[in-house]
Amino acid sequence: GSFCNMENAFSQLIKITESGEDVIPIVSYNVLSTDTRFISACDNISRIEKQCGRKVICTLEDAEPLGPKVKLDVLCICPCTGNTLAKLASGISDTPVTLAAKAHMRNDRPLVIALASNDSLSGNAENLGRMLARRNVFFVPMRQDDAFKKPRSLVCDFERLWETAEQAKKGI
């Protein structure tokens, strides 16, 4: 989700893949199937797959091996919505993204969250706090999105995703 931030996330995907990193793309059901004013689902999936050179993981069955069988150096959720944050904080794994994250964290591997949520400082503040306290969970630095028009909204500094992922791999 966080469709208004998909372009920010995609620009980071380009930087990461062009640096030579192997990226396994995982998408939520909403990203897979929702056409928005920003981009159609089909176009979004197509450009992700083209940039990564592989098909997106978009089912629970395909996401499940990412913890026990396929060990990732780091798993980044970018952008991470308030809904996904709440599911992670509550141990709910009903989407490919949350299942991959749960399996990944079960093996004490670093999880990077690039938060973009309009209710981070209200309804999701408790979930944010719970995830901040978890071991091996790292947040891309964030700020208020618009303190006057959206006073409870936080958005990460997408330009610092790569830096955060590199630090997370080192456990810093």
30-74 residue pLDDT tens: 889 888 888 888 999 999 999 999 999 999 999 999 877 888 999
Number of Cβ atoms within 10 Å of the Cβ of 130: 16
pLDDT tens digits along 72-128: 999 999 999 999 999 999 999 999 999 999 999 998 999 999 999 988 999 999 999
Q: Which of 115, 122, 114, 113 minimizes the C-alpha distance to 150? A: 122
Other CB atoms within a 10 A radius of the CB of residue 44 amount to 21
Reported pTM: 0.93
